[in-house]
Each structure stands twice: as C-alpha cells, then as structure tokens.
Amino acid sequence: MKDTKAKYIFVTGGVSSSLGKGIIAASLAKLLQENGYRVTIQKLDPYINIDPGTLNPYEHGECFVTEDGAETDLDLGHYERFLNTPTSQANNVTSGRIYQAVIEKERKGEFLGKTVQVIPHITNEIKDRIQILGNSGLYDIVITEIGGTVGDIESLPFVEAIRQMRWELGKENTTIIHLTLVPFLAAAGELKTKPTQHSVKTLLESGIQADILVCRTEHHLNAELRKKIALFTNVAQEAVIESIDAPTIYDVPNLMLDEGLDKVVLKSLELPYNNKPALNSWNAFLSRLKNPKQEVTIGLVGKYVTLHDAYKSIVEAFIHAGASTETKVNIEWLHSDKINANNSKNKLKNLDGILVAPGFGERGVAGKLLTIKYARENDIPFLGICYGMQMAVIEYAQNVLGLQDANSTEIDENTSNPVIDLMDSQKNITRKGGTMRLGNWSCELKTDSLAAKIYQTSAIQERHRHRYELNNKYADALQAAGMKISGINKETNLGEIVELPNHSWFVGVQYHPEYKSTVEKPHPLFVSFVQAAANNKMKNHANMAQKI
C-alpha cells in the first residue's frame, strides 16, 4: 500500500435506503471545507452497470455529468452544489467498473496465473479506487459514501475493503459514519432505537465498528435516548448525531453544525478543529432563499416528470437562481405526453416561464413542439435544454421556415429535412455506454447576443450529454428566418445556442447548464431566465390592470 497523507471518512447506511447519505456527506464536507480542509466526496455504487448512463431515469434519477465527461450518480451533483468544486470520473465507481477493470487485468495476464477472487482482487481494486483520490495530493480528507444498505449481498466487497483500509491505515486515519433511521411509532408514541442497534450489529458482523452514528428522525432525540443508543452500539454519546427532517437540503449543514458532527469527525481523525464554521455566504444564500420578494411559476415539460429526481439538477438550479433573484420559483410539472392541441393553451396560459427538458426518444415530442410554439407565439420566456433546444429548432423549421417534415433523425430517420442530425463521428457508433458527446466543451458567444449579455463574457465552457446536433446545412435558412445561432463550438463549428431576438427571452442550449449551478455560483442562464419570468409576470399583471 502506498503512503498517503489524506484521511478517510466512510459513510455507510442502515435500516432503510433514502436516508440522505449523500446530503449528510455533502453537509459534512461543507463544514470541513469551512474549517480549512481540502475535501472531496466519492460515491461507490454496488450495482453492475459500468455507470448510470444507460439507466432509465425512472430507475436511478438523473444522470449527472462531470467536467471530464463521466456519467455519474446524482449525488455527485449535490457534492458539487454544496462544495462548489468539480468532481470527476474518480468520484463515482460502480461494482461494474471494478469488475471490468479486474477482468481486463486478468486478460492481460497481470495476475500471473493466480486464481482471481473477490478477496483480494476485487477488494484491492476498490481500495485503489478510493486511494486514487487520497494519493492525488489534492485533498486532506476523502469522504467515501457506500451506496445501498449494510447487509446487502452486493455491497459486501465494499464493506470488506473499508475494513481492510481501517486495519492498514489505522483508526486515526479512517472514520466510519453509519447513517440509520430512528422511527417514531405513533401507536406507542415512542422513538424506537432497536433498528439502529441491529444495523450497527450488522456492520459489526463484517468487522467494522461504527465511530459515529447519524440518526435520521422525525422527532428530536433526547439525552436519554442518545445515551441508550450509545451504550448499545459502543459509540461515544457525543457521536450520536441527530439528523432531523429539514425543510430543505440546504438546512442540513447548519443542523450538522449544531449537532457537532464536524467536531466529532475531526476529533476522531485526530485533526485540529481550527474554527467554528461561520457559513457566511451559505447563510446569506439561505436567508435570500427563505425570504423571497417575488414569486414565479415555471412549467417544466418533460416525460419523466412523475419522478422529480429525474430532473434534480434543474430543480436545484432553480433554487439557486431563485435565491439569487429573491424569487420563489414554483415548478409546475407537465408531462409532455399529455399536452395536445386541445389542451395546450389551458395548460400553459398561466405560466410565467417555460422550460422544455432534456430527453431521448419519440414519446412526448408532439407535446414539446406544441409547448414551444405556444411560448414562441405568446412571448413567454422559454429555456430549452438539450432535447429542448433541438425541439425549438424543429418547431421553428416546421412552423416558421415551413419545412413541415423537419425533424431530428432520432425521431424520423427518413425525414427529408433533418434539421437535427447525428454528427459523422457518431454515425458508426453502436455501443451505448459512454459514447455520447460528453463533458466540457468550449463555446464562443456572438457579441451582440442575449447569451453574451447573460454570461458577461464571450468564451464559456459547458457540459454536454447528447448524440444529435443542429445540422449546419440549415444554419443559414434558420438565421435568415430570425433564429440566431448565438454560440458555436469553434473546433467542430457546431451550433450550441439558439435564440430569438424578436422574442423577450427565448434561449435553447445544446448543453446542460444545470450541472454547473452551485449555491455559491448560481448559473447565469437560470438567473436571467427566472428574472425574465418575473418580468413577464409583472407585464401581464400591468396589462390586466389596464384592461380593468
């Protein structure tokens, strides 16, 4: 094992899934960052997919894309939004990726004739993946979150790898935080500690004694209860941390600060507690978030709207932009499949702004096109993201250029007007995983554009995740008819942004601005869009008042 100076925090979960391990990890990292430590967070996922890129959003929520083009778990989005530092491929590792790497080494003969086994080969690969971050010299502390719940068969190799790291690096260099649930039984009128006791025991069966317990609860834990949990689970009483349900995920760092999670963690890692985190800019954000001066309703049109996690980063980008403009942003979730010519006006007329979301495939496309037509013709602020931008181009080509069969070849391979088409470099690709245009690409903005005004610069970098592109054969015709291509990738000459100068705020972007929005740096496009929606609402009110 290589020497390493970074210290490691492992976050495991028990009793139930969805207890918010990702938010606890991100909140703790925030507090440690404010204490002067360089922190990163990593997520280990026990499933066999190489990455979540091929998963349906209904299976696993949004796929978050990093700067280096990794398709990752949505928790990485939280890490970036809380810490305001980028993550990378190394921050999300699945069992699939571990096994793939080990099998590849086996094929190359790297194991010198040995039998390849879960222990030590898979566990060694896991340890290496954890320590890549720790050995990079970039971080003082690496927080590694283990997906799933202890006791799951599939997470056993991860738990074993942690056990070994703890033995190898020592207790002072590794801390185990176990997240559990303390349920309230209404009939008994009591909080119950038994599930927590069992869960800590299950972890112990794998040779790991938890150092700190974070107990998710709907009611406060009193001193007696904390003492009971501590006594039966072998942890210090101060290390029984309450994680009470919070109004927003952004309240959790303060809750953890009040509970002293950062203090017990640093004590356990034998690191100095430099200063109590002031969370100044964080709290300024929270106070703007909680005291809005105006309110807007934005329609979010997509086909996965029944699972809000499918659009996690978009929702969070609206929260950041809302706080920045002191605006309460209500999202009206609209299923694109349910919008048709008979109901579109009714469904859309009360919206202050409309966002057409990213997506894939044919279902719901007609509803998206009707929505965009309505936004365009009625001067409603419109933001189209990725598929939403492609739909905006198709709608314009069909209804303004009069190319009635204009389409994307993703939807109609035989269209005579493929305004959205595959790049040549994509045409022979048959494998689905990791083969889209992914990650950071640069984009040059036209100086007299709305985009340049919004970004306040002419050169930007944004993250992509798509296969299809605006077809440059139609660029001149679209521009002559009033659709401006205001952002271009210089190396490929691909159009990345379209806008309509004769509309008050109409922007389509081929990339995903939502991945870059953080608490500290709300994304300028979302900020401007929310403000445009507020202006539109004001204008409509003024018009209405005039009519009365």
Residue 43 half-sphere exposure, CB side, CA atoms within 13 Å?
Answer: 29
359 binds ligand GLN (CB under 6 A): yes
Residue ranges of alpha helices (H) inside 214-311 are 223-233, 252-259, 261-268, 280-290
Among 162, 286, 319, 386, binds ligand GLN (CB under 6 A): 386
Question: Any contact of residue 468 with ligand GLN (CB under 6 A)?
Answer: yes
- Cβ at position 488, least distance to ligand GLN in Å: 17
Stretch that binds ligand GLN, among 41-49, 358-366, 475-483, 521-529 (CB under 6 A): 358-366
Half-sphere exposure of 237 (CA within 13 A, CB side): 9
Give me the least distance between CB of 359 and ligand GLN, in Å please: 5
From 121, 178, 503, 512, active-site residue: 512
Q: How far is the CB of 333 from ligand GLN (least distance, A)?
A: 17
Q: Which residues pair with 508 in a beta bridge?
A: 384, 498
Q: Which residues contact 78 (CB under 8 A, 6 or more apart)?
A: 22, 23, 26, 249
For position 412 contacting ligand GLN by CB under 6 A, the verdict is no
| Angle, helix 252-259 to helix 280-290, in steps of 10 degrees | 130
DSSP codes joined into one string, 117-174: -IIIIIHHHHHHHHHHHHTTSS-SEEEEEEPS-TT-GGGHHHHHHHHHHHHHH-GGGE
Among 45, 71, 125, 410, binds ligand GLN (CB under 6 A): 410
Q: Judged by CB under 6 A, does residue 387 bind ligand GLN?
A: yes
**Nearest CB to ligand GLN, comparing residues 2 and 431:** 431
148 binds ligand GLN (CB under 6 A): no
State the nearest-atom distance from the C-beta of 313 to ligand GLN, in Å: 12
Among the listed residues 335, 360, 442, 520, the single contact to ligand GLN using CB under 6 A: 360
Torsion-angle region of 287 (φ positive above 0: left; ψ -120 to 50: alpha; else: beta)? alpha
Q: Does 71 bind ligand GLN (CB under 6 A)?
A: no
* CB nearer to ligand GLN: pick between 201 and 467: 467
Distance from C-alpha of 368 to C-alpha of 16, rounded to nearest angstrom: 37
Output 468 or 529, the one with its CB closest to ligand GLN.
468
Q: Is 358 in the site for ligand GLN (CB under 6 A)?
A: yes
> Which amino acid type is present at position 178?
H
Q: Phi/psi at 201 (nearest 5 deg)? A: -65, -40
Please, what is the minimum distance in Å from the beta carbon of residue 422 to ligand GLN? 8
Contact between 127 and ligand GLN by CB under 6 A: the answer reads no
Does residue 168 carry a catalytic annotation? no
- Which residue number, 322 or 388, has a Cβ lying nearer to ligand GLN? 388
Q: How many angstroms separate the CA atoms of 235 and 548, rounded? A: 68
Please give the backbone phi and psi of residue 512, each rounded to the nearest 5 degrees, phi first. Answer: -115, 90
For the window 192-231, what string marks contact with ligand GLN as x by the rule CB under 6 A? ----------------------------------------
Out of 34, 160, 496, 514, pick the active-site residue.
514
- Rounded to an integer, what distance in angstroms lies between the CA atom of residue 319 and that of residue 322? 5
Binding mask 422-461 for ligand GLN (x = CB under 6 A): ----------------------------------------
CB under 6 A: which stretch of 294-302, 337-345, 352-360, 477-485 binds ligand GLN? 352-360
Please say whether the beta carbons of 445 and 458 come within 8 A.
Answer: yes
466 touches ligand GLN by CB under 6 A: yes
The answer to whether the beta carbons of residues 416 and 405 sit under 8 Å apart is: yes
Supply the minimum distance, in Å, between the C-beta of residue 439 and ligand GLN. 13
Give the whole-angstrom CA distance, residue 404 versus residue 135: 57
Tokens of 397: 């080509």
Residue choice 467, 504, 520, 535 for contact with ligand GLN (CB under 6 A) = 467
Is 166 a binding residue for ligand GLN by CB under 6 A? The answer is no
**Stretch of 11-19, 244-252, 354-362, 448-456 lying at the interface with ligand GLN (CB under 6 A):** 354-362
**Beta carbon of residue 464, minimum distance to ligand GLN (angstroms, whole number):** 8
Active site residue 386: yes
Structure tokens at 239: 């290390």
> Given the DSSP bridges, would you call strands 494-499 and 484-489 parallel, antiparallel or unpaired?
antiparallel
Stretch that binds ligand GLN, among 84-92, 95-103, 242-250, 353-361 (CB under 6 A): 353-361
| Separation of alpha carbons 316 and 320, rounded Å | 6
Residues 6+ positions from 473 with CB-CB distance below 8 Å: none
The whole-angstrom separation of Cα 80 and Cα 77 is: 5
Q: Provide the minimum distance between the beta carbon of 357 and ligand GLN in the complex, in angstroms, as a whole number.
A: 8
Shortest distance, position 500 Cβ to ligand GLN, whole Å? 20
Q: Is 514 part of the annotated catalytic residue set?
A: yes
CB of 73 to ligand GLN, least distance (A): 17
Nearer to ligand GLN, 210 or 355 (CB): 355
Contact predicate 259/277, CB 8 Å: no
83: amino acid identity, one letter: L
Beta-ladder partners of 382: 354, 506
**Complex with ligand GLN: residue 198 or 467, whichever CB lies closer:** 467
Catalytic pick among 386, 395, 443, 523: 386
What pairs with residue 179 in β-bridges? 13, 214
Q: What would the two tokens of residue 401 be?
A: 């250029």
Amino acid at 303: K
**Number of residues counted as binding ligand GLN (CB under 6 A):** 10
Catalytic positions: 386, 512, 514
Site for ligand GLN, rule CB under 6 A = 358-360, 386-387, 410, 465-468
